[in-house]
Amino acid sequence: MAAIDQRTKHSWRARVRIPGFAQKTRTFDTEAEACDWAARIERELRAGRDTIPNLRVEPTLDEALERYEREITAEKKGHEQERRRIRQWRRRELAQLKLSTLTSQHFVAFRKERLTAGIKRSTVRLDLALISHLYTIARKEWGMPYLVNPIADVRQPKADKWRNRRLSAEESLRFEQALATCYNRVIPLIVPIAVETAARKSELLRLLWRDVDLKRRTMLLRDTKNGEDRTVPLSEKAVELLRRLAHEGEDEPVFRTTSHAITAAWRRILARAKITNFRFHDLRHEATTRLFERGLTVMEVQRITGHKTLAMLLRYTQMNVDRIVDRLDETESDPNSPGGSRPVRPTPEPSRTFGPKNGAAAQTNIIVFPGRR
């Protein structure tokens, strides 16, 4: 016989018990859907047909996400970000439903809600991609081949425009002053090194002294985001900065700090500098752009940054149009052409070095963003 129970305001559970068969259970959004399903399953079982698996062992989305985080997320390089994404999903009312009861309509409503709230389209795409992969794992590895991936029928939001954030000259001035007051001695060094090397924060934090060769002016970044090791050439300024760090052992980290400490210090620096919408990862954009502005070829820049494709490399490049004008002037093929030679653009004045306010800054005395137009 069938039994219908109301679990929450918008959740109804149908249970069907027929002698000789395992109990069948499923949760629905309305009482009518639960009754219709229970009646159909009861007819099939009384006719001797068991067409659905035993749903008593099927997890809810919350339970599946917990297992996914334990078995899949833990092995990913971006596990910290994905764990935050999983926690957000598990707080939703949707997480209390069984996997087989979730439909594309649930996630269409989720997409609309998030976009209406002003969440970036790329973030919503990643939220949906997580659930889609969970269903793939559940079908292939967790013994639930009967599941249908509801995300397959959900239209994905269009990708966001490429990020284009570089500090202006005025912002650079305030940023350098705020950086000089940072009490964490590592931060005023790791920031300019990130600009000099185009390395990611995670790559720098994993860097060990045995992978740094100051004589050859190279550093080896291991287990990078794309899964490969990458040797990065060091500028003279980068070598000078690295020499200021304490070298306590070959197997010791170069930067003795944590991602959380960098994030906290970064927020304080931006607050003091009164700068918004500027992330640590934007230093990688800045570094890549500077490499092009210094005249390096695409292949040379790609070797340093580790980008796999030109399309990805271009996403990190916002060349200053004034620099491009300078290059046009420099490569003018015929200086005696009608109209005469073009005037030389004035060279920007060098950045000023600001007096430190504490002992940490006194040891660094670093110019992070040389004067830009």
Q: What's the whole-number mean pLDDT along residues 140-147?
A: 85
pLDDT at site 81 = 84
pLDDT at site 324 = 66
Q: How far is CA 351 from CA 170, 190, 299, 342, in A?
A: 11, 19, 30, 27
- Res. 19: pLDDT tops 90: no
Spell out the domain ranges in the chain: 2-57, 61-153, 169-332+345-364
Considering only CA atoms, which of 214, 205, 207, 208 is closest in space to residue 238? 214
pLDDT at site 126 = 92
- Res. 365: pLDDT tops 60: no
Average model confidence (pLDDT) across the chain: 81
Q: What is the largest CA-CA distance in the chain?
A: 99
Catalytic residue (choose from 217, 225, 303, 323): 225
Q: What's the whole-number mean pLDDT along residues 241-245?
A: 88
pLDDT at site 145 = 82
- Res. 353: pLDDT tops 60: no
- Res. 341: pLDDT tops 60: no
Query: Given the structure tokens 């069948």, which residue do they identify?
Result: 24
pLDDT at site 50 = 64
The 10 Å Cβ neighbour count of residue 321 is 9
- Res. 164: pLDDT tops 80: no
pLDDT above 90 as % of the chain: 24
Q: What's the whole-number mean pLDDT along residues 228-252?
A: 86
Active site residue 225: yes
Give CA–CA dist 22/186, Å, rounded.
Answer: 62
What's the CATH fold of domain 169-332+345-364? hpI Integrase; Chain A (1.10.443)
Catalytic residue (choose from 83, 281, 315, 323): 281
- Res. 348: pLDDT tops 50: no
Specify which of 153-162, 238-247, 322-331, 340-349 reaches the highest per-range mean pLDDT. 238-247
pLDDT at site 305 = 82
pLDDT band at 340 (very low <50, low <70, confident <90, very high): very low
Active site residue 68: no
Helices 79-90 and 61-71 pack at an angle, to 10 degrees, of 170
Q: What's the whole-number mean pLDDT along residues 213-237?
A: 85
Q: Are 130 and 110 in contact (CB under 8 A)?
A: no
Summarised one tens digit per residue, pLDDT across range 69-120 is 999 988 887 788 899 999 999 999 999 999 988 999 999 999 999 999 988 8
Catalytic residue (choose from 15, 284, 285, 290): 284
Summarised one tens digit per residue, pLDDT across range 292-338 is 877 778 888 888 888 877 777 776 666 556 666 776 777 665 555 44
Active site residue 307: yes
pLDDT at site 321 = 62
Q: What's the whole-number mean pLDDT along residues 280-291?
A: 86
| More confident: 18 or 239 | 239
Catalytic residue (choose from 98, 200, 230, 285): 200
253: which DSSP letter? B
Active site residue 316: yes
Listing from the earlier edge strand, what are the strands of the sheet with 11-16?
2-8, 11-16, 24-28
Radius of gyration of the chain measured on its C-alpha atoms: 28
| More confident: 292 or 268 | 268
Both structure tokens of 212: 């740094």
Give CA–CA dist 114/85, Å, rounded.
Answer: 13
Summarised one tens digit per residue, pLDDT across range 168-199 is 888 889 998 888 888 888 889 999 999 988 88
Considering only CA atoms, which of 189, 357, 179, 185 is closest in space to residue 271? 179
Distance of CA 175 to the CA centre of its chain: 24
pLDDT band at 289 (very low <50, low <70, confident <90, very high): confident
10: burial class by Cβ within 10 Å (0-12, 13-18, 19+)? exposed
- Res. 339: pLDDT tops 60: no
pLDDT at site 315 = 67
pLDDT at site 96 = 92
Catalytic residue (choose from 15, 98, 185, 307): 307
pLDDT band at 284 (very low <50, low <70, confident <90, very high): confident
Query: Which helix (H) or strand (E) covers residue 345, if one does?
Result: none
Q: Are 321 and 144 in contact (CB under 8 A)?
A: no
| More confident: 148 or 48 | 148
The 10 Å Cβ neighbour count of residue 230 is 18
